[in-house]
Chain A
């Protein structure tokens, strides 16, 4: 990872630090601080603005996500981190009045190009939601949903194999192998969330977006999911939105701090939590607001 465009923004911020630390006001046109860009990004965002009707939810965000990286988005409620995440697989399309400006590319391909097939994009970029949302179908059918949809299995045997593999990767197989044909909604919250992860990885996406995947779960289930994220990062690129700074610190390689719709700082996670480069990041991680 290199540190080109962002260095310009880093210096004035550092010089201004002593007095600026006093004010937590966000001044306009503050550039993002830290390591935003990488050489061969899996996904790259340039000058992204997102609007809901007339209200602007994301202001001029530019950042890269590297391959097989886990990037965490943190920030106070309403800072736009979920909106940002949802613009990466165009789930914002389902929201009336939502408009995305700027350029979002995956492997150099513009995601908002008119000829892009959203269906294909979403097969490549999976998503796990805040609240576990298994379909009211059996565990097997939940996982088989995507492969059936995209014709990934030619026979029942293939499908069985995909289902088992996905459930194993989501470390759920041992718990459910005896009851694959019972309702997915009958599982516990943590199991349901892992089922949703299994469902997402069953179509072999290249990237997985996670929108606060543990906020509805108890600590033990959370620990399991976090462990899982670490394993998954070997094969997938993961972008995770989280409310918990500890979680960001535990699972991510890089952390992005959002504030009022602006991307304030992106840096390696360790650095963000030990030596934040921006006064607002520091204020947030030390608990002065959030």
Chain B
């Protein structure tokens, strides 16, 4: 039986165990005079039986899934006659792949050596045995678990604490899963980066002013040996993000103030969702809007003023990115502004302050930490944004502070380094991981900073 089928079998048995356990507790309770004579509610007895039925089997299933391939592979390889046994680990893997392909029928069997054919057959055999023994084991384990859970159902048995404890463990496991995934990503990026820094010194990477990652693959090729100075990329990222924030912060903040302080209920109920639609537009749509509409418009506009604006400019990409970020800032700022107690507004208005004086002198200062926190989150969003800059900012790694020029960003370079056919041991591709690591570090620091500010703000009113 396939693993998925086994999974469904376990779940089905679990449900069945639930009804058995619950039914038994009800049956026991009846002669005693109702379920009030049980320690726990009948559903807890049901869950107890279901957990006993399903959890051990699920555990066994996952262990089996992890180890059965390894076990089968090594058994097959060990059984190979000495003559065709592989010499080193590279040829070991090659041979193993070949046997697996033969077994799966991907490679034709004709013309292969008898030893390999036998090995392939053996592999098929082992797999069948493994599957059936797994099914049998799981079935037995589930049924035994179910029986055990069922038999423990008794008026004085405390099923509720047991179920609660298990529920807590399951929640913990889910939380750990998320954390370990993040950790896994960080570590994989870290290890690849370390590999990169073996061929390119970290100092050259972080402080180098020249970025051209094209390396010659063969000795006789013409071409640069590649230089990996990340400064132009980070400057480009900063430039585009800065343009985005110049657009997003004032507009987002002011629309938040309008929505929170001035708009009446009707306006608010339409304007707020309309603003949040901006957040729902896919970034690729923003990207071609920037590349096809905004950038040519800016170029033509620039010509009118006698300015030379590149047709892929930081201004176009940053401006459109700013529009994308507006709902981010406005909804976060709206939240913190609404969280300022009404008594502050009353106090200020009762002093004879106008609405805008109240907003300027009391509301904004009181909400400032929260607003700054929101802006920080928006900045890390802008730094990590990819699609718009890929389409509208250009590829040339120029070290410039002119927003009318085309620049490239860290994310754009990661995309170009890793798309298409690549070899994953050259510094060129590994550079992507180093860039990713630096980007991750920067946004992480910004996020920590932002969360710290937001937390400080919370303490103020509690």
B352 touches A119 (CB 8 A): yes
Complex CA gap A203/B349 in Å reads 13
Interface residues in B444-462 (C-beta closer than 8 Å to A): 460
Interface size on A, residues (CB 8 A): 27
Given A145-B353, A200-B351, 12 further pairs, Cβ under 8 A: A91-B349, A94-B349, A96-B265, A119-B353, A122-B349, A129-B347, A129-B350, A133-B343, A133-B346, A135-B348, A185-B460, A203-B351
Interface residues in B251-284 (C-beta closer than 8 Å to A): 264-265
Of the candidate stretches B294-302, B309-317, B357-365, the one touching chain A is B357-365
Give the residues in chain A near B345, CB-CB below 8 Å: 94
Complex CA gap A121/B352 in Å reads 7
Query: Chain A 120-138 against B: per-residue CB contact (8 Å), 1 yes, 0 no?
Result: 1111001101010111110
B365 touches A136 (CB 8 A): yes
B366 touches A136 (CB 8 A): yes
A150 touches B352 (CB 8 A): yes
A145 touches B350 (CB 8 A): no
* Chain A nearest Cβ from B391, distance in angstroms: 44
Complex CA gap A203/B351 in Å reads 8
Complex CA gap A127/B345 in Å reads 13
Complex CA gap A63/B103 in Å reads 101
B166 interface hit (Cβ, 8 Å): no
B344 interface hit (Cβ, 8 Å): yes
Partner of A91 from B350, B361, B362, B366 at Cβ < 8 Å: B350
Query: Chain A 207-244 against B: per-residue CB contact (8 Å), 1 yes, 0 no?
Result: 00000000000000000000000000000000000000
B interface, by DSSP: helix, strand, loop or mixed? helix
Give the residues in chain A near B353, CB-CB below 8 Å: 119, 145, 149
A89 interface hit (Cβ, 8 Å): yes
A133 touches B351 (CB 8 A): no
A199 interface hit (Cβ, 8 Å): yes
A135 touches B362 (CB 8 A): yes
Give the residues in chain B near A149, CB-CB below 8 Å: 351-353, 357, 361
Give the residues in chain A near B460, CB-CB below 8 Å: 136, 185
Interface residues in A63-99 (C-beta closer than 8 Å to B): 89, 91, 94, 96
Q: Which residues of B contact A (CB under 8 A)?
A: 264-265, 341, 343-354, 357, 361-362, 365-366, 460
Q: Which residues of A contact B (CB under 8 A)?
A: 89, 91, 94, 96, 119-123, 126-127, 129, 131, 133-137, 145-146, 149-150, 185, 196, 199-200, 203
Chain A residue at minimal CB-CB distance from B367: A136
B344 touches A133 (CB 8 A): yes
Complex CA gap A275/B170 in Å reads 71
Complex CA gap A236/B366 in Å reads 31
A-B pairs with beta carbons under 8 Å apart, 18 shown: A91-B350, A94-B345, A122-B351, A126-B350, A127-B346, A133-B343, A134-B347, A135-B344, A135-B366, A136-B365, A136-B366, A145-B351, A145-B353, A146-B351, A146-B352, A149-B351, A185-B460, A200-B351
Complex CA gap A135/B350 in Å reads 13
* Chain A nearest Cβ from B174, distance in angstroms: 39
* Chain A nearest Cβ from B460, distance in angstroms: 6
Give the residues in chain B near A123, CB-CB below 8 Å: 351-352
A199 touches B351 (CB 8 A): yes
* Chain A nearest Cβ from B338, distance in angstroms: 15
Chain B residue at minimal CB-CB distance from A123: B352
Complex CA gap A94/B345 in Å reads 9
A119 touches B365 (CB 8 A): no
* Chain B nearest Cβ from A142, distance in angstroms: 9
Give the residues in chain B near A150, CB-CB below 8 Å: 352
Give the residues in chain B near A122, CB-CB below 8 Å: 349-352
Give the residues in chain A near B264, CB-CB below 8 Å: 96
Complex CA gap A94/B354 in Å reads 11
> With A91-B346, A94-B346 in contact, do A145 and B361 touch (Cβ < 8 Å)?
yes
* Chain A nearest Cβ from B422, distance in angstroms: 55
Q: Which 10 A-B residue pairs are closest in the complex by CB-CB distance? A: A123-B352, A133-B343, A127-B350, A122-B352, A133-B347, A146-B351, A119-B352, A136-B366, A135-B362, A149-B353
Give the residues in chain B near A145, CB-CB below 8 Å: 348, 351, 353, 361
Give the residues in chain A near B347, CB-CB below 8 Å: 129, 133-135, 196, 199
Give the residues in chain A near B357, CB-CB below 8 Å: 149
B365 touches A137 (CB 8 A): yes
B366 touches A120 (CB 8 A): no
Chain A residue at minimal CB-CB distance from B343: A133
Complex CA gap A94/B350 in Å reads 10
Complex CA gap A35/B264 in Å reads 42
Partner of B354 from A119, A137, A185, A203 at Cβ < 8 Å: A119
Complex CA gap A119/B355 in Å reads 10
Give the residues in chain A near B365, CB-CB below 8 Å: 135-137
Complex CA gap A91/B341 in Å reads 16
Complex CA gap A149/B143 in Å reads 79
Complex CA gap A135/B344 in Å reads 6
Complex CA gap A28/B237 in Å reads 74
Complex CA gap A204/B361 in Å reads 21
Chain A residue at minimal CB-CB distance from B366: A136
* Chain A nearest Cβ from B455, distance in angstroms: 16
* Chain A nearest Cβ from B49, distance in angstroms: 54
Complex CA gap A131/B341 in Å reads 11
Interface centre among B343, B346, B350, B351 (most CB of A within 10 A): B350
Chain B residue at minimal CB-CB distance from A128: B350
Complex CA gap A91/B357 in Å reads 16
Interface centre among B346, B352, B460 (most CB of A within 10 A): B352
Complex CA gap A129/B344 in Å reads 10
* Chain A nearest Cβ from B254, distance in angstroms: 21
A131 touches B343 (CB 8 A): yes
* Chain B nearest Cβ from A90, distance in angstroms: 9
Partner of B350 from A89, A96, A120 at Cβ < 8 Å: A89
Give the residues in chain B near A94, CB-CB below 8 Å: 345-346, 349
Complex CA gap A120/B341 in Å reads 24
Complex CA gap A126/B352 in Å reads 8
* Chain A nearest Cβ from B427, distance in angstroms: 53
